[in-house]
Amino acid sequence: LTTEKLESLRLAKRVFPDARLIPVEPQSHDREVALVLSLTHLVGMAYGAVVGKREGIARFKELASPSSLLQLTVAESILAQDPSLCSYMDVENPSSLDFLHAFQKELGTLEELLSRHDRGGFEEKFKATAGLYSRGETAMATEKVYRAIEANRE
């Protein structure tokens, strides 16, 4: 790291003492922020809108599985954030649209499989997507979902 970057990190640490700071190259910053934050915001907003407009949130929570309840909790936490800050991060970042398009493409593939009642294709897509992650990661994620739900009930 250059002296200038180290100074910037020190300043950021003073301003945000509890934050975990990760140096990012300027040319990759917008893309990484769009993937980590904008995509999460956009998915959460869409998920929250569908749940809120369809069955209603109370009914959804009554029927929810641990995974769907956690997904709703994530959406609710996103919707509790400052809309101005989110619009600045998401709308002003040109990479946000790239990830939204990639997400829409994935949804389009799923829509085709469902429209054709193609269970085999769906299962292949499911396995291929799961194959992007290690078996240990997915097993741990399931455990984390159940722990988060239990912690939320207390």
Q: What is the CATH number of the domain that holds 127?
A: 1.10.3660
> CA 141, CA 153: separation in Å to the nearest integer?
19
- Regarding predicted confidence, which is higher, 21 or 97? 97
Residue 62 inside a domain? The answer is: yes
Name the region of 56 (left: φ>0; alpha: ψ -120 to 50; beta: rest).
Answer: left
Residue 7 inside a domain? The answer is: no
Burial label for 44, CB within 10 Å (0-12, 13-18, 19+), is buried
Domain that holds residue 146: 30-153
Residue 91 inside a domain? The answer is: yes
State the chain's mean pLDDT as an integer: 91
Residue 10 inside a domain? The answer is: no
Domains identified in the chain, total number: 1
Residue 37 inside a domain? The answer is: yes
pTM over 0.95, yes/no: no
- Regarding predicted confidence, which is higher, 137 or 1? 137
Residue 16 inside a domain? The answer is: no
Residue 82 inside a domain? The answer is: yes
- Regarding predicted confidence, which is higher, 127 or 27? 127
